[in-house]
Amino acid sequence: MDWLKNLSEKWNIDKLVAPVANAKKYYQMLDNLLSLVNDSKVSTSVKEMAKGLSILLKSQPNIVSINHFINHWLLRIDPEDQPIVIKELLEVFHERWKNVDRKTADMLYNVSAPNEKKVLIHGSDKAIESYIEQIAVEQQKIDIFHTIGKPAIDSRQQMERLLKNNFNMSAFLTEQSGQYLSAVDFLVIPSSILMHDVFIAPVGAYLLCATMKALGKPTFIVADSRKILNKKYFPKSILDTLISESKKPHSEVWKNAPTEITLSNTYLETVPYHLIDSIVLENEVVQGEYFNEKVDKVLISKFF
């Protein structure tokens, strides 16, 4: 780690992280993260984070890019059985963003005016569950239409949790959505990443958003500012690891398919903002057509 020490001295890391109460502790945390690359006990996602951090420190060593990078990787890491340094990071991260799902749900509740409406949900997310709970608490009445997308288990488990709210609920495969869209009042989709020109959502979202747009019905994208990914902070090698999806088995689409056919199997896809009405964050609602200019302006709250 001599190169990291030299880099720290060259760039005066202590001053770069002046807002952090203890700069030396921050430096030690980075050192610990990078050392995880060679630890066989840690998960692949943690190793990828450490490798990406190493690249970032060599190419763009500043506190903004580091914070932004760590924020996005922590959203992807399962906290179970992780090394102590990762557990500490996750504890601070979760404390910083405590109740963010409820805040986002509250914003969605206010903008969607759900009483007596039929809502179509495509994708699973804690903020969506909080939204439905809030509607129940406010004694509003809705009908829920829910797609069964990929992976199906996520959709099914969310629907089982939503049953406690005692709303009428219908479920169907995403491919069947066309026959239901004329009946619903609006569409709600969670996003895992919001970028300048597109957002990442469960596969099938593009077709649903385009159809709702053609029908003149609103689509609300639910996320929060943790999920805003400003691409200018990262070299392409790191950006690709943040937005790429792990390969899914082709056998899920077609077992023993002819080798001459190129198969694709994804759980996520990108959707342009012009197809949707609003992006619902925890502290504001931004119209889709204006989100591009907001990415640079929205404050990405510091990790610490």
Domain membership of residue 26 as a residue range: 2-96
Does any domain span residue 257?
A: no
User: How far apart are alpha carbons 200 and 220 in whole angstroms?
Assistant: 14
Q: What is the predicted pLDDT for the residue at 69?
A: 84
Do residues 212 and 219 make contact, with C-beta atoms less than 8 angstroms apart? yes
Do residues 190 and 124 make contact, with C-beta atoms less than 8 angstroms apart? yes
Pair (71, 143) in one structural domain = no
Pair (214, 138) in one structural domain = yes
Please give the tally of structural domains in the chain. 2
Residue ending a domain, among 96, 126, 151, is 96
Does any domain span residue 125?
A: yes
Residue ending a domain, among 96, 115, 147, is 96
Q: What is the predicted pLDDT for the residue at 147?
A: 98
Q: What is the predicted pLDDT for the residue at 289?
A: 86
* More confidently predicted of 196 and 14: 196
Does any domain span residue 180?
A: yes
- Cβ neighbours around 253 below 10 Å, total: 12
Pair (87, 131) in one structural domain = no
Pair (58, 106) in one structural domain = no
Q: What is the predicted pLDDT for the residue at 61?
A: 65
Does any domain span residue 138?
A: yes
Pair (108, 129) in one structural domain = yes
CATH number of the domain bearing residue 190 = 3.40.50.10470
Pair (57, 23) in one structural domain = yes
Pair (172, 192) in one structural domain = yes
* More confidently predicted of 262 and 235: 262
Pair (121, 206) in one structural domain = yes
Residue ending a domain, among 33, 62, 96, is 96
Q: What is the predicted pLDDT for the residue at 40?
A: 60
Q: pTM for the full model? A: 0.83
Please report where in the chains the tokens 């903020």 appear, as a residue. Answer: 127
Pair (139, 85) in one structural domain = no
Pair (148, 270) in one structural domain = yes
Does any domain span residue 14?
A: yes
Pair (194, 46) in one structural domain = no
Does any domain span residue 83?
A: yes
Pair (86, 148) in one structural domain = no
Give the residue among 213, 203, 208 at the shortest CA–CA distance from 268.
203
Among the residue ranges 91-95, 175-179, 194-198, 275-279, the one predicted with the least confidence is 91-95
Judged on CB neighbours under 10 Å (0-12, 13-18, 19+), 240 is exposed
Does any domain span residue 259?
A: no
* More confidently predicted of 297 and 192: 192
Does any domain span residue 258?
A: no
Model confidence band, residue 23 (pLDDT cutoffs 50, 70, 90): low
Contacts of 273 (CB under 8 A, 6+ apart): 197, 198, 199, 279, 288, 289, 291, 292
Contacts of 120 (CB under 8 A, 6+ apart): 145, 146, 147, 177, 180, 181, 184, 186, 187, 188, 208
